[in-house]
Amino acid sequence: MAKSYDSKDIVVLEGLDAVRMRPGMYIGTTGTKGLHHLLWEIVDNSVDEIANGYGDTIKVTLEEDGSVQVEDNGRGIPVDIHPQMKVSGVEVVFTQLHAGGKFNNENYNFSGGLHGVGASVTNALSRWLTVSVFRDGYEYEMQFESKGSGSKIKSGIPVSPLKKVGKTDRTGTLIRFMPDDRVFEDIVFDLDTVSRRLREIAFLNKGIRIILVDERKLENGEPFTQVYKYDGGLSDFVKYLNENKTVEHATPIYFEAKSDLVQLACAMQYTNSYVENTFSYVNNIPTSEGGTHEVGLKNALTRAFTELGKHANLIKDKDISLTGEDFREGLTIVLAIKARNVQFEGQTKTKLGNTEIKPEVEALCYQKLMEFFDKGANKKILELAIDKAKNAAKVREAARKAKEITRAKNSIENSNLVGKLSSCSGRKPELNELFIVEGDSAGGSAKMARDRSFQAILPLRGKPLNAEKKRIAQVLANEEIRTIISALGTGIGEDFNLSNLKYHKVIILSDADQDGAHIRAILLTFFFRYMKELVLNGHVYIGLPPLYKVQKRDHIEYVYSDVELPEAIERVGKGYQIQRYKGLGEMNPEQLWDTTMDPKTRSLMRVTLEDAANAELMITTLMGDNIEARKQYISEHANFNKVDSFKPTSNA
């Protein structure tokens, strides 16, 4: 723990000049993800204070006017004059890019958010920002504004120097800011997004208390308030992820370990599921593409379980050889590490690339797993793990031939596609699109409507299998699933290879009704479970066919949602006719091309994976075996009272 924390500890790397001109370089996007990134930069700083032993509480308030406030009870940002910059530490932190106390190891042993760019970017992209510091018995205050218009806006300019406003016995920092509507497409913070991330941070930082208040949402006359605090840390996280599953042992396997290079915590619990679910984090950042830390853990788990099983005479020489995949079947794992100088790789920068971390994590996890199962009370879990692995190995061996069918370019695979896939003539996968279409009728229209130079059509003649409830052998036995795998060319599961993808846009095109929604859910579940990289790398889309056609003579407008309908009717004017499409098969090829397939006019929704843990919970709830959990979710989120409020034809 640092002896002092003053302005001299703030390292300055560069200024703010380019932030307003190219915000995407600093926060990724000016859409909703970038908007929330402003908040995470401030929250990350508060988490670092508490994670390193200073304070215990963070409060986030979504204000009625659209601004947001973050308050902690840490030490408070240094207020003395910075020796290099000749202004207060507060002014340095909010006006200099990459300025903070995290760039050496003296004030923060490990810190989160190092992928970010600091509080200064939040200031630069806000209309205004105010900061109050409670430190050394006094309260200090400073305000910043972004002034000007057009290309001549000056960002994050101090209104006045830091001033002392009174005495206090508090410590900590309070920051409030208003995102700049001249930068962002929308400046409304989403309660669910904020809530999920704060809950995740509380799980990852055992014992931290995070209070979320939404002044915009009243419950019984009071603002919505939620408190997140998990003394069990990752154990509580695993229990949360498995709450709608049947668990095989009540208490998760849990351990912590630390070396000079890395600090880690890990929790895991077996369920009766047939799939493995691993969620990893580095410095509180989700690493949905995995990386060297995940590889280290999985190697340790395989090695430890194999040695423990043989030592306990649970694994015999005559048994089928067990793989890491066998040991992880049905296992929910959360791994969180903290390290310095982390390097992120992958298309979405969510994969840890530090090679030195793999052997370190492997050694620490192996040691802790051996210690955990050395206790007699945990022998039952070991027996359970070995038994599940043996069963998984038997199924794996039985499924081997089925998996080979999906890998090999042989006559069996090709025959699966005869009469089904209408391929395109283009030979550049990055330009090609595959439409997975519901039913032969819609498939026929799509085949006639498409541009065959880059668009392929794969009609589904039956409902695919729900991959959430079946082993891989059963999934591969489903003809529709097999056809999709063959068409994409990537293989699945451990054999998945993104470089073999034949179509860089995989578009699910189904009817805008309950059956269509169910087919979308089944396909997305399959992609999430067995082709997750397809989703992570942004190759999966949902086609959005129109719900209505509003027509008055030659004036036609296609409407894609109920919200848009009244405006479309008003634009078309009196004497309109309206048609509601019940399915894609009702459209002729020209209409299908104009509304749903033409890249110039169609609407596509890219499927993203911002929050893998939340996606896991949703898929388990909606597609798993827990009927009560599904009923509860539907009851809370469905609109059962919706009625159509239009007449089929109007001559008014």
Active site residues: 438, 511, 513, 515
Element (H, E) at 457: strand 455-460
State how far the Cα of 280 lies from the Cα of 286, in Å rounded to an integer.
6
Rg, Å, the chain Cα set = 28
The three-state (H, E, C) secondary structure of 302-367, written as one string: HHHHHHHHHHCCCCCCCCCCCCHHHHCCCEEEEEEEEECCCCEECCCCCEECCCCHHHHHHHHHHH
Q: Name the phi and psi angles at 536, rounded to 5.
A: -60, -35
* CB count in 10 Å sphere of residue 280: 25
Let me know: does 96 contact 18? Beta carbons within 8 Å: no
State how far the Cα of 190 lies from the Cα of 554, in Å rounded to an integer.
41
**CB environment 42-53: b (16+ within 10 A), e (fewer):** bbbbbbbbbbbe
State how far the Cα of 353 lies from the Cα of 290, in Å rounded to an integer.
9
Of the candidates 353, 377, 243, the one whose C-alpha atom is nearest the C-alpha of residue 293 is 353
Q: Which residue has the tokens 């307003």?
A: 20
Let me know: does 59 contact 7? Beta carbons within 8 Å: no
* Token digits of residue 59: 């409060």
**CB environment 407-438: b (16+ within 10 A), e (fewer):** beeeeebeebeeebbbbbebeeeeebbbbbbb
Of the candidates 123, 144, 143, 127, the one whose C-alpha atom is nearest the C-alpha of residue 181 is 127
User: In 3-state terms, what secondary structure has residue 635?
Assistant: helix
Residues 6+ apart with CB under 8 A from 448: 589
* Token digits of residue 638: 């469905």
